Chain A
Amino acid sequence: EADIYQTPRYLVIGTGKKITLECSQTMGHDKMYWYQQDPGMELHLIHYSYGVNSTEKGDLSSESTVSRIRTEHFPLTLESARPSHTSQYLCASSEYSGAFGAFFGQGTRLTVV
């Protein structure tokens, strides 16, 4: 089993609230990723990081922001949640070259009401 953890697993929150989705890995991986996925739809990369103090935008524009202050931790923040942010958010990590693939956390299912 991959050692990558996301909290919370499920979150229902009101419009306008600030939220932070947590992601931690204990594999010492340099690269970390955030994906957004709606039910039955494809994965969309929204953020990634090569290592500490590195953050990059992914292929899908997102109003969320990320930070990478520690190798093992890659939180995602939404300053003001909206119903359009309702989705599943999946965090993943890999070693730098990606030669062994990426390992995913169990995801956070976010519902904004």
Chain B
Amino acid sequence: RKEVEQDPGPFNVPEGATVAFNCTYSNSASQSFFWYRQDCRKEPKLLMSVYSSGNEDGRFTAQLNRASQYISLLIRDSKLSDSATYLCVVNGGSNYKLTFGKGTLLTVNP
């Protein structure tokens, strides 16, 4: 089982749609969790951390289920500018290793 697995995508949605990304991780000792966004031919940028209680930042909501080792990202009212690859990142283990998922490509269409 891969350490971090994401929906393979790609996702194509119309403007205004709600889209959800899912991610599972294998290391139960993982301690911190993140969603990154990567635009085409650019570097990944931290979108938001993910907390056990769930957290929201505007149109973005992240959830963590430690028992199921599952992380999600919900984007409401999607915009054209949300088009990017979304990367699930898990940190933990004895060497605090940051592990990136393969990413899910989102295209928001007019």
Hey, which bits of chain A sit against chain B, CB under 8 A?
31, 33, 39, 42-43, 45, 50, 88, 90, 94, 96-107
In the complex the two chains form, is A99's CB within 8 Å of B44's CB?
no
| Prevailing SS type, chain B contact patch | strand
A-B contact count (CB 8 A): 51
Question: Interface stretch among B13-21, B53-61, B66-74, B97-105?
Answer: B97-105
Interface residues of B in 1-58 (CB under 8 A from A): 31-32, 34, 36, 41-46, 49
In the complex, which residues of chain A have a beta carbon less than 8 angstroms from the beta carbon of B102? 42
The 8 Å CB contact of B43, one of A31, A99, A105, is A105
Q: Which residue of B lies closest to A96 (CB)?
A: B96
A33 to B45, CA, bound (A): 15
A104's contact among B43, B95, B103, by CB below 8 Å, is which?
Answer: B43
Q: Which residue of A lies closest to B31 (CB)?
A: A99
